[in-house]
Amino acid sequence: MSSEIKMKLPDDCPIKPKWFYHTKNEKIKFVWFLYEYACAYYNEIMESQDKQVKQWTKSQNSMELAGYCAYFSKRLRKDLIEYIEDISSDVICDAGYIEDYCHLNSRKLNLELAFLAQSSLIRLLEICNTCPMHCLDDAGRHCDLFDRYI
């Protein structure tokens, strides 16, 4: 009998790994990267000192912000795949993606959120360079981290 120990995710980010897969076959390293990116973006937004971003975060509850960050991460899926497959040399965090989700935001706020999205992606990619998981190098390989957390 297996006595697998489930670990709890950090409390500072309400985004859950299970939001990123529907089937066992989707529990791959690339999808884990999308989850990590959503969390990085969430933290970047929460730490922003921009006045408009602060007002925006106060008008949302943590689950609404988490849902937005998960959406944005998943929306970048195609762009990230093109990047890791060397089809594209960069990933642009498009303010239009934000506008599609946040219809009432000002253009200035959406541009700031796009800047934060780009910044969090750059930071995460820097961390990935030293991470032993190699999520982007082995993107299609099964990721057991999905099964370790509740």
**Span 53-106, pLDDT tens digits:** 999 999 999 999 999 999 999 999 999 999 888 898 888 899 999 999 998 999
Q: What is the mean pLDDT of residues 42-48?
A: 96
Distances (CA, A) of 15 to 34, 96, 100: 11, 23, 20
| pLDDT band at 150; cut points 50, 70, 90 | low
∠ CA 97-113-135 to the nearest 5 degrees?
A: 75
**Quick one: pLDDT at residue 8?**
45
Q: In this prediction, what percent of the chain has a pLDDT beyond 70?
A: 92
Query: Which residues, including other chains, have CB under 8 Å from residue 55's CB and lie 6 or more apart?
Result: none
Question: Tokens 């970048």 sit at which residue?
Answer: 76
Domain ranges for the chain = 23-148
